[in-house]
């Protein structure tokens, strides 16, 4: 169930405030009856009309996408670069990315047309783990990785504690693969964290988002989240656990 003014606004008919005015003025009907109370909630099966015109309501959709490198996490780009929604040409709903991945970062990204769900997952107070694998130019010593794990000072403040694990090192090429799990979402945060200890990230991929992973997908491919997965994500964001 959603508030009537929100349903009208999401349909693109009017802003939330204008929708409230239309309701008060008696120009909105639910199931053939005029409704003037702002607290009214409607379900998917309810028929809503504004000025005698039926409101078209989009089915809520949720996608897990394997974003390739060189793609913008947006629905459009003024420089005509490829954006994530270009990979969904047959999806009728007006979807958008939940949060973002940098242009040069690949990996797991969620797209939806559910604004409430998106806000729930991206709000700073909801601490959802995001796991990345970074290929570094150089091999950091353990005490430096410990600094990342404890939180490190960046120009926009100290980062929250992270989980950091060395996956492999190539001493001949002087490279290292490091897994890092954070729950913040600052701009270019993982790259900046490694830069703060003196290492450049050559390649970065988001492997997991909460309990979701990229199993079965190649870069540029996607799948719909199951109803259970969507429910679990909501529960995790709201309670901090998968109870």
For residues 75 and 85, is the Cβ–Cβ distance under 8 A?
yes
Candidates 46, 86, 102, 129; catalytic one: 102
For residues 238 and 130, is the Cβ–Cβ distance under 8 A?
no
Active site residue 102: yes
> How many helices (H) and strands (E) would you count in the chain?
6, 17
Q: How far is CA 50 from the centre of its chain?
A: 32
Instruction: Tokens for 154, please give them.
Output: 């960046």
Instruction: Tokens for 113, please give them.
Output: 């047309």
* Ranges of H-type helices in the chain: 4-10, 16-24, 115-122, 142-150, 189-196, 227-239
Catalytic residues: 102
């Amino acid at each position: 169930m959603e508030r009537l003014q929100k349903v009208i606004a999401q349909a693109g008919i009017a802003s939330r405030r204008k929708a409230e005015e239309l309701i008060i003025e008696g120009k909105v009907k639910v199931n053939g009856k005029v409704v003037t109370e702002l607290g009214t909630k409607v379900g998917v099966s309810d028929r809503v009309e504004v000025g005698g015109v039926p409101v078209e309501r989009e089915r809520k959709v949720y996608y897990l996408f394997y974003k390739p490198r060189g793609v913008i996490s947006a629905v459009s780009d003024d420089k005509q670069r490829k954006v994530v929604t270009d990979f969904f040409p047959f999806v009728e709903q007006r979807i958008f990315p939940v949060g973002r991945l940098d242009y040069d970062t690949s990996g797991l990204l969620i797209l939806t047309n559910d604004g409430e769900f998106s806000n729930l997952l991206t709000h700073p107070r909801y601490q959802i783990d995001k796991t990345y694998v970074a290929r570094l130019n150089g091999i950091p010593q353990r005490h430096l990785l410990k600094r990342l794990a404890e939180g490190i000072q960046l120009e926009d403040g100290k980062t929250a504690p992270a989980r950091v694990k060395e996956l492999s090192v190539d001493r001949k090429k002087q490279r290292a693969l490091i897994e890092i799990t954070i729950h913040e979402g600052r701009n270019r945060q993982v790259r900046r964290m490694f830069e703060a200890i003196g290492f450049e990230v050559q390649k970065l991929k988001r492997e997991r988002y909460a309990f979701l992973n990229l199993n079965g997908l190649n870069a540029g491919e996607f799948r719909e989240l199951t109803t259970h997965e969507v429910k679990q994500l909501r529960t995790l964001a709201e309670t901090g656990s998968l109870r």
